[in-house]
Chains A and B, each alone.
Chain A
Amino acid sequence: MAENAILYDASKCSACKGCQVQCKQWNMLPSSLGKDDNEYTGSYQSKSDLDGDTRLLIEFREKEADTGIEWAFSRRACYHCTNAACADVCPVGAITKSADGVVNLDASKCVGCKYCTAACPFSVPKYREQFNVSNKCTLCNDRIAQGREPACVQTCPADALSFGPRDQVVDAGKARVAELKTAGYERAELYGEKEMGGMHVLTVAKFGLEAHGLVRDPKRGDAVDAFSIIKPLAGVGVAGVIGALGLSFLTAVGYKQPQLSLEEASEEEN
């Protein structure tokens, strides 16, 4: 089966959050039903990070440069890595990689051990307390199975999201970066071609990886590999044992949440 991928072009994204809302709608994920109990994040960003009910979040980072304001938008969600640490550490086989590149999470098998969250260099899978499971993007593999695009891609009004065979997505991403460089965006980069063995969500970062909060050279924690060797031998039973040791040993070197809440922002300023 050919590998598929999403291309997110941050230089075309208007940060309308249509994808973010459509993700919740298709996947039947709720938002708070309370009154006025959502947080103010300090920017147009809806919430400070992904959570158990939020698989996709549009992030906002703004900075003044010599050339003017750099308002960098990002699409924070699972990248569907080839070397998916989450799948390797999952003790119950709830997270699996399929031949088309999707890293799926089957909630019916998940035991809520949170290893995946700890192992992911991007801290993407989030714990969903109400159901005691992890939650993350599945690339809408239910839709793909029906020959449809992922919900986020279908809803994007600005063609900032596209979906197709991965080799074509890589070519399109490279071509777009070349265009942006010609147009004067010298720090433009393509993210996800090689990272983590090759991602299945690639990003055209208009102002360079750092400006968009993308992790340069993400790495799996050493323990992930060790763990993935012992896991098949030990089977499910190992979960409890390792769980007692805590999760920090799996933690990867990676995603740092930049200015994601007011408190952190003011700490940085101080």
Chain B
Amino acid sequence: MSGLGATFGRGAMTNHFSDFKNADVILTIGSNNAENHPVTMAWVQEARAKGGKYVVVDPRFTRSAALADMYAPLRSGTDIAFFGGLIKYIIDNELWQKSYVENYTNAAFLVKPSFAFDDATGLFTGWDDEAKAYKGVDTWKYEVEKEEPWDTSATGPYAWTQAPGVPEFTPLVNKVAKKDATLQAPNTVFQLMKKHYERYTPEMVSRITGTPVEKLLEVYETFASTGAPEKSGTILYAMGQTQHTYGSQNVRAMGVVQLLLGNIGVAGGGINALRGEANVQGSTDIGALFHILPAYLATPVASKHPTLRAWLEAETVANGYWSNKPKFFVSQLKEIYGPYATAENDYAYDMLPKLNAKNHSHIGIFESISEGIVKGMLCWGQNPAVGGPNATFAREMMAKLDWLVAVDLWETETAGFWKAPGVDSASIQTEVYLLPAAAHYEKQGTVANSGRWIQWRYKAVDAPGEAKDDFEIMHELYKKLVEKYTADGGANPEQITKLHWPYETDGHADITKVAQGMNGYTIADGKLVKNFAALKADGTTASGVWIFSGYYNNNDAPGDPSQQPTGSRGKEDPGGLGLFPKWAFSWPANRRVIYNRASCDPQGKPWNPERVLVEWDGTKWVNNDVPDFVFQVVAPDGTATPTPPNTKAFIMNPEMGGRLWAGGAAMKDGPFPEHYEPFESPVDNLLNGRNTNPALTFGSAESVKPGSADKYPIVCTTYRVTEHWQTGGMTRNIPWLAEAMPKMFCEISEELGAEKGIANGDQVRVFNERGSIEMVAMVTPRFKPFNIDGKTVHQMGMPWHWGYAGGHSTGAIANDLTPNVGDANSSIPEYKAYLVNIEKA
């Protein structure tokens, strides 16, 4: 998410599943889509039937690899080396799409000459060793050509900032960067990039990744062929890219490749984040994260954003669509606090919780329990006793809580953490409550899939027993809290008592009212707004999730989801590209392929006339998809004037282009992706003088217990299998699925088996400083040892679906071994590369 946003402007999959059929090359790396997203194969096979190539790069020969036209092995955690080599290959062989790169990226922008990367230290300029962070990032900026203050005059584009009710903040200044259209100046982004990746030769990359040079070049040649203007290549990725201490930079690296090849914004292209759960995109969109509010607005930080004014000045972007951020934020505050939020009290901004200096991501919560700060926990549809990193530590921390409430379909390992093998439950004082929840077919509401389609799902059956819809549970909890705070007071009761909660009908929780609040409405008449263009910063509109706006906007039937865009089920497919514009609603504004301006040349002619998303016919834009750019200007009287083609293809970025170099505060660990080794690695970094990402998070926490390569020489990774789902609650409790993959296992190569005297089916012990677990060994030729810089490095892997709870299939918890260290930007844990040892049990 953070890598995508920093590159293109939105943290979302660019295309969607049915678009895969349009690709000339599909590269799966860091995902195992045939196993974990089986439905994707329908479109992958459609692409192949038309001559498309399916390329799989993975440490292990997976079921995806079995179906691929080309497979290449790669050591876990070396993706940036792999992509850095591809960037160099594309530049060296002149395979980049020139017109696209020149017009739709920041290639021509001039960076401050003081910006540099030092390969001796492995650091970019601006590193503060004491703070363990990049602090002086003023070198990570463009040279400024001119400054354009916002025109806030009555006829200017920013007149809205002066309207009554709009919170006061200093209008911004758009700093227009200097450019060199020839791309020749040494401090153009293009030249800096060329220099940065000079070190990533195929030989060097092969020494790091373990991919044989000839395989590497075969994959590079195949994928780089999509740099031809009429060709498109897509990258499918998942947790194999993100769950690293440089996971966001892995995604950035893919972004750079795709921009160079002109593969963003086109049908059959894109960077496609295959989400791990049906509604992960939706959960991210509605801000189920510690550091963002709904719809990608920053959670206020006490030191940085003490006031609404400070927030608006720091977070609003001077150019591009994010210059409208005050409209979205004020509308959100109006939805959260309703009538209590007024211009006079800064729309109740003070009531919003603020972050302090502590990192309260998943890992941080357990650190805070250990420090005695967090005393109670609501675990809602989460099973950190199995699913979180260093799960033994997580379970130990749960035992320190005063209370724990688990809301789930089953008694998970978390709900029954005190029942873990070897635990003395008599010594645990935590009060545990388990609230039975309804499953997805027992409630209604929306799910936003990987491709951003927000689809309404209807309730099919009543939940059994006392199980309740999550929203009903939340609603009752809200009512109790208000009652309690009203009666007893407290430190700051208004945070709860003044919440705006109109989400009920006849006293019962009503999710369709939440949908209306997320879509947005004008406060005076309560009418749903057509889309986010209608939102205002003056307190007259409310919208909880501005990016969703338009998904639930039919005022004729506000209580009927089937009459709303999210409930629409039309099967028309103009252009035959699988866009299906009338099937549900795709945020933003029902655009199916975002950044689709880039599917045409600067004159508005599609790069590929067979795959038309939008097209300028000489007088107006003709569209199969909803344009993701300014394509017309509508006058107050309703007359629309078409906007002739320009090169503003990435409207969410102030540059209006995609970012090959992501400066400013976009990334916490450098404007260019640079290879570092995983937190635990058996080898030293060959590309620069620093082994691990300097800005990774939680590296010095005592609980991490790092293991050294001499004791734990084997690289291990975790993954999922088709037959099970996440921590297994929903599959290990179903006899058919428990039978489908009945045992926890680890996969090792025949060579490692021979070295350790382990045969297929033997019971083995896998261990490191964090834990020791036992399971059956699957010895297979599908794993092969890697040759890393002349040294044999073994890699193994195991699924993380098992635990001690459940009726039909139990087994060891893989995450007892994974390290609780996090990515520099998102703090996502490094589940995908760490060290272990193995022996026969």
Contacts and interface: CB of A to CB of B under 8 A. Distances in A.
B372 interface: no
A159 B41 CA distance: 8
A12 B808 contact: no
A100 B200 CA distance: 62
A98 to B, nearest CB: 29
Nearest to A20: B740
Q: Which of A31, A35, A62, A265 has the most CB of B within 10 A?
A: A31
B778 interface: yes
Interface string A37-65: 01110111011000000000000001110
Contacts of B807: 33, 35
Given A16-B722, A69-B65, A265-B760, A38 B809 contact: yes
Nearest to A33: B735
A47 B61 contact: no
Interface in A1-50: 11-12, 14-18, 20-21, 24-25, 30-36, 38-40, 42-44, 46-47
B739 A69 contact: no
Nearest to B40: A157
A30 B735 contact: yes
30 contacts: A12-B41, A12-B45, A14-B34, A14-B35, A14-B66, A15-B63, A15-B722, A16-B38, A17-B723, A18-B38, A21-B736, A21-B737, A31-B735, A33-B735, A36-B810, A38-B742, A38-B809, A40-B742, A40-B761, A42-B760, A42-B761, A46-B723, A62-B781, A64-B781, A69-B65, A69-B66, A71-B66, A158-B34, A183-B69, A266-B761
Contacts of B61: 68-69, 71
A79 interface: no
B38 A157 contact: yes
A18 B37 CA distance: 12
Nearest to B760: A42
Q: Which of A20, A44, A47 has the most CB of B within 10 A?
A: A44
A230 interface: no
Contacts of A158: 34, 38, 41-42, 45
A18 B41 CA distance: 13
Contact of A44 (B71, B721, B760): B721
Given A16-B35, A38-B808, A40-B743, 6 more contacts: A11-B67, A15-B722, A16-B34, A16-B722, A40-B776, A69-B782
Interface residues of B, number: 40
Interface in B790-818: 807-810
Contact of A39 (B742, B782, B810): B742
Nearest to A68: B71
A35 B781 contact: no
B757 to A, nearest CB: 14
**List of 9 A-B pairs having minimum Cβ-Cβ separation, nearest first:** A38-B742, A158-B41, A31-B735, A31-B739, A14-B34, A71-B66, A262-B761, A16-B38, A157-B38
Interface in A84-119: none
B760 A71 contact: no
Interface of A: 11-12, 14-18, 20-21, 24-25, 30-36, 38-40, 42-44, 46-47, 62-64, 68-69, 71, 73, 157-159, 183, 262, 265-266
Interface in B54-78: 61, 63-67, 69, 71
Contacts of B745: 40
Given A31-B735, A33-B808, A46 B38 contact: no
Contacts of A157: 38-39, 41-42
Contacts of A12: 41, 45, 67
Contact of B741 (A14, A46, A266): A46
B759 interface: yes
B568 interface: no
Contacts of B776: 40
Contact of B808 (A35, A64, A262): A35
B759 to A, nearest CB: 7
B451 to A, nearest CB: 16
Contacts of B42: 157-159
Contacts of A38: 738-739, 742-743, 808-809
Contacts of B810: 35-36
Contact of A46 (B34, B740, B808): B740
